[in-house]
Amino acid sequence: MAKSICDVLGIKYPIIQGAMAWISDAGMVAAVSNAGGAGIISCGGRTTEYVREEIRRCRSLTDKPFGVNVMLMAPNKEEIVKVICEEKPAFVTLGAGNPVPYIEAFHAAGIKVIPVVPNVKLAKRLQDNHADAIVVEGMEAGGHIGVLTTMALMTQVIPEVEIPVVMAGGIADGRGIAAAMLMGAAGVQIGTRFLLAEECPVHDNMKQKLIEAVDTDTIVTGQTIKSAVRGIKNKFSLEYQELEFSGKADKETLLKMATGTNKLAAVDGDTENGMMQAGQSLLPLKKIEPMADIIESLVKEARETLAQAASIRI
């Protein structure tokens, strides 16, 4: 079994925070890292100046390891990579593009590289190109998703590579963490559960909608144009999906309709016309509480579940 992500990053618990656009700022990231996990600053839709400022602000809030996520489809990705190499956070995660060309530069700057991958083929390629670990995310996750479930990915990716595999997608409680660890994961990545942290800047309107949500309340938009996004059902997402499957709108129209809707919900609090990106595991989202309390409860439940697993007979 590959070593724990704790050993890779020098953190207390094998939990990293998913980078959520317009949400994962320095305050939230520092709260995760101070609580024993590893927070990740999101660069999605941000300027290079913002990225530099947030890295420096995070460093003023914590002396623990934290990372930065790079969206490789961003038009300013080259400039953002340069800023990250200059500021030297502990690690980077990379998605929505080919991470291989950037690994050498990050390593030269002393930064660990943890790409997000959707399948076995890319996992092996990243191992061959000396990634320090990988995040493998199932379609149960919030935001942009792939086509395979977390269980299917754990079953197929983990045995095929020797580098640490961090599992993500629908993991929102300690039982999910325990399941991933028993399958051989080196750690987990969690996003949606952390939206209810006091330190999370997502709008209070969206936090309340997450608390009220039931298990069947997520929806996937953009499937027909290969830009699938999971979020909470509301006026926008239901109307979008209806138009999408009507055959009356082309890709350009659908992409334009979705542009800016994540920020509209997360920052402006418009929970009817914005896209509230969230994963499928909604019932554990019961109350707003400090990040440290969330992480400690996750770890406690995971340890209890793993202890009980020792007595299971097959």
Q: Are residues 228 and 86 in the same domain?
A: no
Residue 282 lies in a domain: no
Does 301 lie in the same domain as 241? no
Domain span including residue 46: 5-200+288-309
User: In the 8-state DSSP scheme, what is residue 38?
Assistant: B
Instruction: Supply the mean pLDDT for the chain.
Output: 96
Nearest residue to 232 (alpha-carbon basis) of 219, 214, 216, 241: 219
Q: What is the CATH number of the domain that holds 99?
A: 3.20.20.70
Assigned domain for 110 exists: yes
* 98 & 19 share domain: yes
Average pLDDT over residues 192-206: 98
Structural domain contains residue 113: yes
> pLDDT digits over 67-90, tens only?
999 999 888 999 999 999 999 999
pLDDT of residue 1: 53
The number of domains in the chain is: 2
Shared domain for 15 and 58, answered yes or no, is: yes
0.85 exceeded by pTM? yes
Mean pLDDT of 234-257: 95
- What does the DSSP 8-state code read for residue 192? G
pLDDT tens digit string along 132-180?
999 999 999 999 999 999 999 999 999 999 999 999 999 999 999 999 9
Please tell me whether residues 157 and 12 are part of one structural domain: yes
By CB neighbour count within 10 A (0-12 exposed, 13-18 middle, 19+ buried), where does 257 fall?
middle
| Nearest alpha carbon to residue 138 among 96, 167, 102 | 167
Q: How confident is the model at residue 236 (pLDDT cuts 50, 70, 90)?
A: very high
Q: To which residue do tokens 């051989």 refer?
A: 184
Please state the length of the chain: 314
Whether residue 155 sits in one domain with residue 85: yes
